Structure 1
Amino acid sequence: MGVVRVVAGDPVTPRTADLLARAAALLVVLAVLAAAAPARADERVWGLVKSGGQAIFIRHAITTPGVGDPPGMRLADCSTQRNLSDAGRAHAGRVGEAFRARAIPVDRILSSPWCRCLETARLAFGSPEPWAPLGNLFGRPENRATQVEALQALASERRTGGNVVLVTHGSTISALTGINPDTAEMVVVTPLGDGRSVVAGRLTVR
């Protein structure tokens, strides 16, 4: 189609008008395709988790303002931690509703021992099992190698039936997958066995 240049003050000929109309139509088509591509990718990943056997890593839902935890934080005392906001609690509930609406099978629910993760898991899926390797790695680089090794072993384990859901922190998901997810975003990992796995995609429930 070439490049259409219209200079202010120049008369618009029928040919120029036709080229402009075609360019506008092409832009509309490209915009529609760009919008449709993520939706198709989402449906592919939803189909994968519907079939079961995946490790679904979920970052906890949105919290009250802050980074990390307050000084003196204790795992046994939620009042000393940075916890979910009301918006985060509602978002966690929507994640669970999306799983139920799509009949996504879940066989096991594991969570970081941090209260914001436990609450996210509980509101979305029910009672979780606290699991230390899912703990927050933010500011704890000395724990990275040990935790990533345990997470990789579980993520690579082939399973039949439902999925395993792992509610954790952005820093922990990033250490395992290289992906820094948004709050309540899911990173789906397909186990390949023998200590190997592959990131199959990401899912977000709004």
Structure 2
Amino acid sequence: MTQPAYQEFLIHEGEGAIVRLAGMGVRVNHFDAAVRRGHDLSSRVSDVHPRTHKGQVMWAETVAELRTQLLDINQGWDIGQTDNYETVYNPERGIAIAVVGGDANCGERAFGQPKAARRRGPVTEKRIRRNVLGQQMFDLPEFKDPPRDDEQCDTWFLLLNARNNRMYLELSLATSLGSDSRFGLWKERIILPYISLEGVVVDPTEPDETEPPRVTVGRK
């Protein structure tokens, strides 16, 4: 979707980030626990596994632990999977969170804005349009059926980038994918404290949205 080349956005850091997260019903330790769980289990992947498996485990276990953390606080969080798009969401707060690998601008106030490590696809594009248009999004012709609860939320992206034995992370609200389909503009960025980790630290490798899932039906 076309947007102006320049857009003002909010950046929350330090105490401001903690306050902003509290307003969303989450805390820094929820994301810390999720990243540490993902790292712990991805570190157990051996050399005999496919090369991409470590990053896939990092993504899947981070998603799973973030869901566990937020479901445990019993404040309306639920598991979102519409269109196979994995989130944890809170319909009362109107917030969904997806985990995505980010680039080297992720997790700190840098010269450039952060982007995804890999190209995003049509579902992310639809979620970002919802971030911009709000509920009027569902008046568009593409919505023949009522949207699911997780689709009606603003989708925030937990961007993770591994460098220097640390995981840098931020929770940010995108308003554009950009011409390279790796995020363009942001409305808010909540920069979280980096997490020091031991051993090989890998970026999460989320499922490829640009390729439709393949379904193989065996002979009965």
TM-score by length of 1: 0.32
Specify the structure having the higher radius of gyration (Cα).
1
Identify, as 1 or 2, the structure richer in helix: 1
Q: Which of the pair is proportionally richer in strand?
A: 2
With the length of structure 2 as denominator, give the TM-score of the two structures. Answer: 0.31
